[in-house]
Each structure stands twice: as C-alpha cells, then as structure tokens.
Amino acid sequence: MTRTYDIRTYGCQMNVHDSERLAGLLEESGYVPGAGNDVDLVVFNTCAVRENADNRLYGNLGQLFPAKQARPGMQIAVGGCLAQKDRGRIVEKAPWVDVVFGTHNLAALPVLLERARHNNEAQVEIVEALQNFPSDLPSRRESAYRAWVSISVGCDNTCTFCIVPSLRGTETDRRPGDVLAEIRALVDSGVIEVTLLGQNVNSYGRSFGDTLAFSKLLRACGAIDGLERVRFTSPHPRDFTDDVIAAMAETANVCPQLHMPMQSGSDAILKAMRRSYRQERYLAIIDKVRAAIPHAAITTDIIVGFPGESEADFGQTLDAVRAARFASAFTFQYSKRPGTPAATMDAQVPKAVVQERYERLIELQEHISWDAAKALVGRDVEVLVSAGEGRKDGATGRVSGRARDGRLVHVATGGAAVNPGDTVTSTVTYAAPHHLVADAGITGHRRWIDPEQPAAQPKPLLTIGPPPTRPSGA
C-alpha cells in the first residue's frame, strides 16, 4: 500500500536542504507527498536555534495526537537540531512519536520507520558523527531551476549564543570535485541557480589543507556552462579574505550579493559573543566588497540585547549600521538558548529594554533599506521568476522573483506568458524597503525549459498585489 508523507521544516537553509533529502529518501522508499494531518507520516525537521523552538515542537506534536489516534498506522518522526539536542526526552514528553533521528543520520529514516512499525515501539537513533553529506542523498527539490549545494557541514566556531557546533559537529568539508560534479549534474537537470551552503563557507578547505579553496570553487562555478547564478551562505568575517572578494567580482555568474552576519557593532559585545573580529575589521571587509563590486547588496544578522549590552554598546551597533548601509538586516531580540554559554551569563538585559532597542534598530534599518532601494528606481533589473515569491493576485498581472543582488522584485508582464524559471528584464519604477516594482514593461525574456518535461504545458502566471503604502515614520 502506498504511504503518504508530509515534512514540516523549521530553521535555516541547511534544514530546508535536509528536508529535500528526506523527501528524496522517502520517495525512493515508495512514499508519495501528501499534506496536512491526513497522511501516513509526518516528519518534523526541527531547529534548536530559534526562540521557543521546544515549545513549538511539543505544541505541534500535541495538536497531532488526535489525528494519530484517529488513523491507525500513522507515524510521526522528529529529526533535526532539536532532536539531536533532546534525544530521548522527545518520546518521554510525547510518547506517540515513532522515530527520533539526528542531524548526522538522515539516511536512516526509512529503516527506522520500518523498524518502529515492526517492533511497535519508538526508535531513537542519534549518532555523533556525520554519516552522509546531505547532498550525497537522493533529493526531491522544491524547485526545478534552483538548488542548494552543501560544501561543508558543521562549525568550528564557539560563539556563545549558538548551539549549532554541538548539534551538527565540527566542520567537515566536501572535496571540490564532488561539489562541482553535483553542480554539473544539477545544471544538466535544468538548474540555473545554486546556493552553496555551509555554516562558515569562508573556512571551506581547512579540513583538506587549502586556504584558497572557496575562492577557487567560486571561479570553477564560473566555468560551468548553463549555470547562470551562484550564491552562497553564510560567510564569517573572521575568515573573509581578499581572494574571495576578487573571485566574486571577477566571476560573471557569482551574484553581487553578500549576506555576512555582524551580530553586534560593539567590540565588547563581540568579544563576549566570541566573535573573532571587531567592528573595524567588519566594516573594512564591506568597504573592500563595495570597492570591487559597487552594486553589491549587502545584508546581515544582528542580535539586540545580548547579555551585558549597555546603551553605549547598542549605540555602537547603530553606528555600524549607519556606516555599513545594509540593503536589509535580519534582526533578533536575544533570548536564552539552553546549552549555550550566553544563557548563564550575568547582566541579562531586561525584556523591555531589548524591545525598545530593537524597535530603534528596525526604524533605522528601514530608512537605510528604503534609501538604498529608491536609488535603484530607473535602473534595469534582471529577475529570475519564482513560484515561491510574492502573493498571488490575478488583478495586477505581475510576476515575482529575485534580482541578481537578491532583492525581491515584482514585474509587470503586460500580458506576456511568463512562468517560474523564466528570467525577465525590466526597469524599476517603484521602491519599498523590502521589495522593488518594475512596471515599465519587459525588455528581455529568457524562457526556462525543463529538460525533464520538454513538452510540458506553460505553468500559470504568478501574480502579486499592488505596492504597499509608505511605511510609517519613514
């Protein structure tokens, strides 16, 4: 009997990539995709970094309990970082869970599910060392024209707010030849954009003794015919070197985009975080990137209210944001993560203070983001149309996608048939802090052809709503 599955993913891009591999493993074992609670298997691929991750998981498991009682044979599996951290505690708190597996043994899921059915008892298997790179496993990708490619797994840094190294292990790098072989195979299957994944892509090559490996990998990607866009995440300022900046600037298909977490602009707080750089070093990297790639969009992560953060420390973060002029920033209010050194530090900042600082940072970054976006009005922009961007609204006749610099753009098609995977060129006519609108008409259109389905019917037009009103206070 065919069994259906639904994977529910929380967390970072690495988790999304892992979920694509889990889907591939399940379908290779005879499962077919389903949705909602009316499926034979629900897999939670969890995150231990986000706030209230534990409560969210157990709340979702509790909501699923009645569905499992009503469906004999239904199974529930929990994997990912929270499973790696909590291990047997999950089946103690939610005994209706059938399988718990860790970040290092994704490939074991089908076997564990079968064993749980056969033995009629929960199976918990957490291993401490990586068994397979995610990219070595079969995949059911969310997109036929974009793909994640893991170049490394794990992290050798010891940031005091982060639990990732203890959950995903120390850094292990794939050999460049294996990475490039995967990318070539993806391109042959129709992929035109890849994102290289690693907890710290700039330290790639350390495990096999080549400190220039990442810049070499970027340049090698530039030689792959048919690969139109290359992105990467995430770099660490400590290991960001000039050869990588040169490779970004000189390799045509490497996108003019850089997401580089700053976390704080205060040297004292960076030291407490064990971030092995200081504000001056961080801003110097940005200056070099902008000198080499003037049109690059630079984004970041910032934590507000880290233990011990004073008003002066926060002021230094605001100063750094003004100097960096980020295109956008992912901002987070610090909250304790069990198992991290920061959770037991003195001088925890009161919630009300954190909230007030957070709002000030958001207001500043909104102004900067909007100014940067408005500077693009009147410029041509090349957009890879995606089915996963924007809001569908047939009244506007726009499609949505990402520019080469990563910005979200909504493009008026003028009635032309434009499908996900197509690349269109238009002129920006309107700017908001978090997106652009190009209503000037399409001046270039490159169609994407799925080599697996060359005779497939065109996909429906993806549309979005009208541009939003001016943000308050901006």
Domain boundary among 91, 125, 159: 125
pLDDT of 452 strictly over 80: no
Domain boundary among 311, 342, 374: 374
The model's pLDDT over 13-59, given as tens digits with 9 standing for 90+, comes to 888 888 998 999 999 999 999 988 889 999 999 887 766 677 788 89
**pLDDT-wise least confident of 50-54, 264-268, 269-273, 324-328:** 50-54
**Is there a single domain that holds both residue 467 and residue 400?**
yes
What's the pTM value of the predicted model, to 2 decimals? 0.84
**Is there a single domain that holds both residue 358 and residue 424?**
no
The model's pLDDT over 58-77, given as tens digits with 9 standing for 90+, comes to 899 999 999 999 998 999 99
Q: Which residues contact 50 (CB under 8 A, 6 or more apart)?
A: 10, 11, 56
The model's pLDDT over 135-177, given as tens digits with 9 standing for 90+, comes to 777 778 889 999 999 999 888 888 999 877 777 778 889 999 9
Q: Which residues contact 206 (CB under 8 A, 6 or more apart)?
A: 156, 171, 173
**Is there a single domain that holds both residue 144 and residue 110?**
no
**Is there a single domain that holds both residue 106 and residue 240?**
no
Q: For residue 438, which amino acid is it?
A: A
- Phi and psi based region of residue 458 (left: phi greater than 0; alpha: psi -120 to 50; beta: remaining): beta
**Is there a single domain that holds both residue 329 and residue 422?**
no
**Is there a single domain that holds both residue 154 and residue 93?**
no
**Is there a single domain that holds both residue 148 and residue 197?**
yes
**Is there a single domain that holds both residue 363 and residue 393?**
no
Q: What is the pLDDT of residue 456?
A: 47
DSSP string covering 268-285, please? HHHHHHT-S--HHHHHHH
Binned at pLDDT 50, 70 and 90, residue 405 comes out as very high
Q: What is the pLDDT of residue 472?
A: 36
- Counted domains in the chain: 3
Domain that holds residue 165: 134-374
**Is there a single domain that holds both residue 233 and residue 185?**
yes
| CATH number of the domain within which 397 lies | 2.40.50
Q: Which residue has the higher pLDDT, 468 or 360?
A: 360
**Is there a single domain that holds both residue 383 and residue 441?**
yes
| CATH number of the domain within which 46 lies | 3.40.50.12160
Domain boundary among 107, 125, 143: 125
pLDDT of 455 strictly over 70: no
| CATH number of the domain within which 347 lies | 3.80.30.20
**Is there a single domain that holds both residue 399 and residue 365?**
no
CA–CA distance, 301 with 166 (Å, rounded to integer): 21
Prior bond of 234 cis (ω within 30°): yes
Helices 109-119, 13-28: axis angle to 10 degrees equals 60
Helices 311-324, 279-292: axis angle to 10 degrees equals 10
Bridge-partner residues for 423, per DSSP? 384, 446
The model's pLDDT over 107-118, given as tens digits with 9 standing for 90+, comes to 899 999 999 999
**Is there a single domain that holds both residue 32 and residue 15?**
yes
